[in-house]
Structures are given as C-alpha cells and as structure tokens.
C-alpha cells in the first residue's frame, strides 16, 4: 500500500447555487446511450463532512458515487452495470484500497437528463463524493457534467456513454470507445457491401445526433433520408414508412433497443423488411430485438458494437465469475462498468489524498501504456503498494487496454455482427 496519508482529507468547496439553474433547458433533452442495456450502498453525506469514514476496526472507508439507469428505457444497461459493479467491488475489497475499503453510493437517473442531474446533485452537492461514476446515456452524462460537475474538482467517469460529443469535455472520462469510430465502421460496411444510398434514422438526443453526424461525414454514398425520432414512443410506423418511400439501398438505425424492436416489428407488419439492407449501432444487437422480431425477418442485418478482448485471460476470468453468479454471459457494458470501478479504486490508491483534485491528477496515469502492465486490480495494487508511482502502472482491464487520452477517451475494440438464422454471429473486430 502507498505511504500516502489517505486520512488527511481536504474539504473541497462545491458550487451548489448553480445546480438547480443547470436544469433550465433540459426538459427537451433525452438521455443518450450506446446499447441494449438494487440501489447503492448509501453515502455518508448530508452533513457536509467528508465521504471518507472509519470503520469499527479503524480502517478507512472511501465512498464514491455512481449514477446508473436503474429504471426507464436504458435500464437493461443499468442491470448489467450493477452486476459488473458488484464483482469489481468484491475484487477491490478483497485486496483493499488505501488501507481500507471502497463503497459506492448510488442514485437512479431514470434514463433521463433531468433525473441524472438530480441524482448527481445528491451525490456531489450533498454527499460530497470526490469521484462520480456515471452514467449510461451520453446526453445524461453531458448534462451531469455541465450542470453539476464542471467547475468543481469532482472526477466523472462514464461507464457506458459513447457519443463523440464527450470528447469535447476532456474531464469527462469514459470506459467505452467513442461513437465516431463506430459510425465510421458502419459507413465502411455500407461502402464495402456496395450500398450507394442510405436512409438514416437516429434517436433525438446527443447520442443519436452525434453518431448520426459522424456516419454522414464518413459515408461516401447519398443520404436520402436523415430524420430523428423521439424516445419511448408506442409506434414508429411513420419513420419506417418514410424510409421505405426513399428506395434507399440501406437503412441505418442509430437508436435504442426498445425503439428498434418496435421499428423492426412494424417493418415486418408493413411488409418492407426486405426492401433494403439493414445496419445499425450497438442497440440493434440485443435479446429484446430478436425476441420481438419474427423468425428470420432480420437475417442479414449487420451491427457494429463496442467489444472486449474475448480471448484475454482476465476477461475470461470475469466471464467465469459473472456466469457463476448470474447464470448468463456478461456483455461489454458489464465489463466497462467493472473497469470504471477498478480504475476509480486505483486512483484512490495512487493519489496523495482522497480529494477530487488529487484523484484527477492520477486517474489517467494508472491506465496508460508507459507503466508495467497489470491485468487485475490485485496486480496493479501491488505495484503501487511496493512504492510505484501512478505512471508505473498500466491497468489493462477486462474491457481492454483503456489507455485514457487527454480527451478522456479510451482505446477500444469494435465487433461486427450479422444476423444469421435469427442469431447474431461475429464477423470480426475493428480497433476503435
């Protein structure tokens, strides 16, 4: 363990007056997100004191925050995040951090920007956590950052957000690769498959708009339809009918799993499923999609999704633990949530003190390739415990190499899937 005096906690000043003002204008902003998809441990906040406390045994407890989508249209992500978080907490606390243990105080964003801002206000302004993991939706993550985290010293790490717009906020870190690489990969698929025109349907929020714009910029063909659709509608038949009227070679969907499941069913009902080749981002791949689609109706559809190094030893160990606990395989989103917790714990171990400013100084360094590669929290912790500096550690997570850059973006992998006989089959990897 580091020699750092973790118990000397500097009280940071938190700007509270502007928090409610940050909600202005958010009513029309949907929460963004990348894919298909128990409250927290509670905090020590409310009295203005540090979130670092002592247990009965005298060891320290380091409480960080987490905003997750536990309800709403992105709750499938939230459920996966919870499972990854639970495994990470056990792995961290079996070794220890800063001479004590890690706890996570959690709030539900309800899959909306306003819900996310309210949740973050509770954690940052009331409980005074120095580090916030959050959240799923890209629009929700940026709303939290702009309304709550900016102008404080709190570290924010999104476990799932992929929008290219997050790159514009260098202090908003994230675990999955940016959506720009995903959009470029979709464009490449269309070009390789000989599609000279495309109809693009994107969900009306930060995620959909930014990934859609990146696709348009990268695509060499003609865009004959380019329209948003709102989240949570009971029907999208007007979207499908409009796409069908274009005679486009390809249909591209940048949306969420519930919305796409409705669209695919309505396309079948309208008899237009075979009119074009279908492509999409990560949310067109998921159990809800194939469960609701008629057998064979989506065969041939291709999806580009954030992925993980599936043959890596640490990922396989994560898969085994996940399957043993939960009876199913993890998705990449569970792996990103796991790594968000581990990177947070390593920052606590490496920092001079348990404050946001001290954590921000080291959080990137513990993931970068200049250090000694460590593929588990225990191995990375040991480097720091033996006197290593943050730059002596290169944590390579279960989701991949991470290597957070100056914009807070990681190195990542993308995987291409095609629906064959009503099942998703992998057709290769792309580095994001």
Is the pLDDT assigned to residue 31 strictly greater than 80? no
State the pLDDT at residue 2: 47
Q: Assess contact for 24 and 146: CB atoms under 8 A.
A: no
- What tokens were used for 193? 């498959």
3-state secondary structure of 238: helix
Alpha helices, H only, 249-330 = 257-270, 287-292, 313-326
CA dist 23 and 302 (Å) reads 38
Mind listing the pLDDT tens digit for each residue in 205-237? 988 999 999 999 999 999 999 999 999 999 999
- What tokens were used for 176? 């999955």
* Mean pLDDT score, 146-151: 97
> In terms of Cα–Cα distance, which of 417, 314, 309, 358 is closest to 155?
358
Percentage of the residues of the chain whose pLDDT score is greater than 90: 75
State the pLDDT at residue 413: 85
* Mean pLDDT score, 266-273: 97
- DSSP letter (8 states) at residue 145: I
Residue recorded with tokens 């790159």:
167
Q: Assess contact for 301 and 193: CB atoms under 8 A.
A: no
**Beta-carbon-side half-sphere exposure of residue 200 (alpha carbons within 13 Å):** 27
Mind listing the pLDDT tens digit for each residue in 404-413? 999 999 987 8
Task: Please give the angle made by the CA atoms of 398, 281 and 167, to the nearest 5 degrees.
Answer: 65
CA dist 394 and 285 (Å) reads 32
State the pLDDT at residue 22: 36
Q: Assess contact for 144 and 135: CB atoms under 8 A.
A: yes
Mind listing the pLDDT tens digit for each residue in 340-367? 999 999 999 999 999 999 999 999 999 9
Q: Assess contact for 16 and 124: CB atoms under 8 A.
A: no
Q: Assess contact for 362 and 14: CB atoms under 8 A.
A: no
Q: Assess contact for 17 and 114: CB atoms under 8 A.
A: no
* Mean pLDDT score, 261-281: 96
CA dist 256 and 92 (Å) reads 32
CA dist 260 and 271 (Å) reads 16
State the pLDDT at residue 432: 61
- What tokens were used for 14? 């938190």
Instruction: Lowest mean pLDDT of 6-10, 82-86, 205-209, 393-397, name the range.
Output: 6-10
* Mean pLDDT score, 96-110: 97
- What tokens were used for 396? 């390579």
What is the model's pTM? Answer: 0.77
Instruction: Lowest mean pLDDT of 4-8, 172-176, 188-192, name the range.
Output: 4-8
- What tokens were used for 353? 């003190």
Mind listing the pLDDT tens digit for each residue in 163-189? 889 999 999 999 998 888 899 999 999
- What tokens were used for 424? 């998703």
State the pLDDT at residue 338: 98
If one compares 207 and 245, the residue with the highest pLDDT of the two is: 245
Is the pLDDT assigned to residue 109 strictly greater than 80? yes
Percentage of the residues of the chain whose pLDDT score is greater than 70: 86
Mind listing the pLDDT tens digit for each residue in 387-424? 999 999 999 999 999 999 999 999 878 999 999 999 99
Helix, strand and coil in the chain, % to nearest 5: 40, 20, 40
> In terms of Cα–Cα distance, which of 164, 162, 163, 159 is closest to 175?
159
* Mean pLDDT score, 255-271: 95
* Mean pLDDT score, 256-262: 92
């Amino acid at each position: 363990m580091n020699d750092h005096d973790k118990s000397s906690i500097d009280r940071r000043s938190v700007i509270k007056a502007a928090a409610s003002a940050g909600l202005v204008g958010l009513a029309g902003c949907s929460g963004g997100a990348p894919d298909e998809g128990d409250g927290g441990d509670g905090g020590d906040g409310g009295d203005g004191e540090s979130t670092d406390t002592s247990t009965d045994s005298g060891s320290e407890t380091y409480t960080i925050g987490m905003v997750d989508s536990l309800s709403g249209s992105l709750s499938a992500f939230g459920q996966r995040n919870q499972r990854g978080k639970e495994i990470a907490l056990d792995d961290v606390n079996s070794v220890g951090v800063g001479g004590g243990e890690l706890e996570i105080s959690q709030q539900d964003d309800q899959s909306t920007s306003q819900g996310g801002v309210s949740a973050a206000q509770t954690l940052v302004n009331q409980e005074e956590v120095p580090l916030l993991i959050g959240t799923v939706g890209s629009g929700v993550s940026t709303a939290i950052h702009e309304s709550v985290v900016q102008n404080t010293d709190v570290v924010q790490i999104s476990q799932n957000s992929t929008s290219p717009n997050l790159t514009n906020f260098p202090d908003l870190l994230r675990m999955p690769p940016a959506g720009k690489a995903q959009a470029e990969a979709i464009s490449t698929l269309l070009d390789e498959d000989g599609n000279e025109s495309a109809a693009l349907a994107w969900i009306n929020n930060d995620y959909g708009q930014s990934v859609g714009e990146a696709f348009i910029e990268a695509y060499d063909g003609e865009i004959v339809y380019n329209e948003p659709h709102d989240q949570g509608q009971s029907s999208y038949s007007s979207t499908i009918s409009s796409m069908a009227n274009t005679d486009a070679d390809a249909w591209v969907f940048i949306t969420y799993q519930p919305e796409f499941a409705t669209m695919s069913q309505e396309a079948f009902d309208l008899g237009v499923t075979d009119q074009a080749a279908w492509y999409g981002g990560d949310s067109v791949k998921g159990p809800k999609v194939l469960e609701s689609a008629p057998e064979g109706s989506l065969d041939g559809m291709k999806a580009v999704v954030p992925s993980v190094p599936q043959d890596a030893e640490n990922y396989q160990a994560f898969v085994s633990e996940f399957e043993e606990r939960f009876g199913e395989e993890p998705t990449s989103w569970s792996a990103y949530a796991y790594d968000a917790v581990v990177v947070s714990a390593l920052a606590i171990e490496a920092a001079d003190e348990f404050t946001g400013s001290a954590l921000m100084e080291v959080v990137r360094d513990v993931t970068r390739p200049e250090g000694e590669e460590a593929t588990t929290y225990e191995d990375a912790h040991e480097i720091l415990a033996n006197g290593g500096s943050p730059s002596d550690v290169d944590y390579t997570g279960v989701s991949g190499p991470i290597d957070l850059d100056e914009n807070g973006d990681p190195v990542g992998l993308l995987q291409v899937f095609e629906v064959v006989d009503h099942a998703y089959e992998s057709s290769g990897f792309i580095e994001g």
